[in-house]
A = this chain, B = another copy of it.
């Protein structure tokens, strides 16, 4: 766990002073750079020491067998694992006869700074070699948002006290040796030497390697070129072997003289293109990057991010840590998705191998709500990726003897890669989550082309799933039995409230969109009868309620179960999945992550305010937050029911999940959904934004420590800005079309150039609900 003050709370940068090797792997994740297509972990330039080396290309994975001690019908036999592709980040340095290695000699200073303004990771080092030679080393690294295949590194070295011989080796290395992985199921399965060499070339300051994966047939090309700037004479050479290419520079520098090298990298991959085609592709990208030059790339990067912050920034007055964390979160959400372009957005982005690089429901339920209002084209692309996997999802449904489509619980290429079906394939809510994201995007953008091409087929096929999965009970209710909701400490329950309500939204959304596009719907063989059946199922959807307790059970009869014995659960027994058998977790009232509370948020329209308050109070003492997906949603509902301090605590947890390594597994990659959840906690929590009714509703209210909160959302291409203080909220619009909004239940019309201010009504929450002993969020709100 990274402890304070590792990253001082600066508004626009993440700064690491000093280098703590015990948290190296975590910091590699925190300082990862990515554009959604190419990802580089924040490994040190010189490669070692490392926590976990990592270079990733979206959708470059290898197959691996999924073994079963006892097999069952339909179990997937092959899974996918993201692989560490050729490492192009390496720049090794030899000072006289000593390699620069922070573990040796004396590290006088070491600072890394990630700028959220220009997306560059800068490093400055003051090092004295074991034999007493002092060097200043600096590097800057970026993964281009504007040139998705490219990355660049500016590296500079300067002797301080005496003239020194310098050797610099810039490398490409394939099939890096990986540290042994942990037994934690949330980590990844390591694949040894996944890349088969196919082609290599090296000349001048340039080299290229082409490899391919054995089973998945991914061909990966990477090329590097360099510009060199040095007052002294520099001798260079270049060489390559099947798994390594190396550009070597040798010089002798006087004190104050510096050798500066810019390394340009270009990556490309394909499962269909030939070696010459891939080679040409990466060379073209490399040419473009070299042509832009370091300064050009930097300027493009800054411009890209200026645009982003202009539309997406959230300004928090009163808590520098939260201010920093939410900007970091927004930056990483962008890094995970910006150029993913019809490829998945993995749970860890491209920052680490955790969860094997798979995408889950996290994408649609956490990342896309954030992207929808800040970077809608990326949200649309992610859903177009789902659309691309529909044929596989249809096959999945057939295998389950269901109609429509069932999206894989975890996957890279669309095929189910989940090896434990009760908490994988059975979590069919993912299909309603996809539909929910589609409905939200259509509402927020009005993008007709998307609606027709991707939205309609996604809604239709998921609606068909629910229609065939559920059944009309004798009492008239439409039941969905034996599926798993979001809470992974329950499985295979009947009528999970979240699932049923999301299915209802799915069915209604499909009916609406199908009616809007009758021709396209007919092309999908949708009939009027089918639409009517969806509407009937939605209207009859069963939502269980415990009359005695006056709360909604997470799933039917959940509240009959014994409550987990939290009093006798030790702090070191969390996360519980690593210390208790599913057999016991499933049969008790213990909640890993927001499930019913997730329903209170995503389907807030289906609950009264009183129900929300009682439900939230009931589930808080049962929820252990062993998932990073929980805190943000608890923040939203805590805020809604008036527990603003508690909401603030949860916001802090969601936002600082990775900066503070709260789940102790940031080493495997960032928690992209939790980071997106930080935005949700602020905007839906303290901004009180809701969108499930078709228009935007706000019910802002700030916790004591915050003086002001300002955020923007894109609505049909227009920028809507909300500025919240302790007493009132001001809404303003940039755009031509007036927007109908709601403030604390009161509708109003907002027109460009005419900001509207509404007072914030007071709230009287009940007593602060308790959490399981030892699982209270870190106190932030009571400050």
Which A residues are within 8 Å of any B CB, using their own CB? 66-76, 79, 183, 185, 399-402, 418-422, 424-426, 471, 473-474, 479, 481-483, 491-492, 494, 548, 556-557, 560-562, 577-584, 586-588
Contact = CB atoms under 8 A, between A and B. Distances in A.
A561 B71 contact: no
Contacts of A578: 73
A483 to B, nearest CB: 7
Contacts of A586: 482, 492
Nearest to A556: B557
Contacts of A74: 581
Contact of A491 (B75, B479, B492, B562): B492
B473 A401 contact: no
A487 to B, nearest CB: 14
* Interface hub of A471, A482, A578 (most chain B Cβ within 10 A): A482
B560 A420 contact: no
Nearest to A402: B584
Given A419-B68, A492-B586, A579 B483 contact: no
Q: How many copies of the polypeptide does the oligomer hold?
A: 2
B73 A581 contact: yes
* Interface hub of A400, A492, A583 (most chain B Cβ within 10 A): A583
Contacts of A399: 581
Nearest to A410: B70
Nearest to A399: B581
* Interface hub of A70, A75, A578 (most chain B Cβ within 10 A): A70
A199 to B, nearest CB: 35
Contact of A560 (B419, B426, B473, B580): B473
B494 A557 contact: yes
Given A67-B69, A586-B482, A562 B471 contact: yes
B491 A421 contact: no
A91 to B, nearest CB: 38
A582 B471 contact: no
B481 A419 contact: no
Contacts of A421: 581-583
Nearest to A419: B69
Contacts of A67: 67-69
Contact of A582 (B72, B76, B185, B548): B72
Contacts of A68: 67-69, 419-420
B420 A584 contact: no
A584 B72 contact: no
Contacts of A420: 68-70, 72
Nearest to A474: B548
Contact of A482 (B71, B474, B561, B580): B561
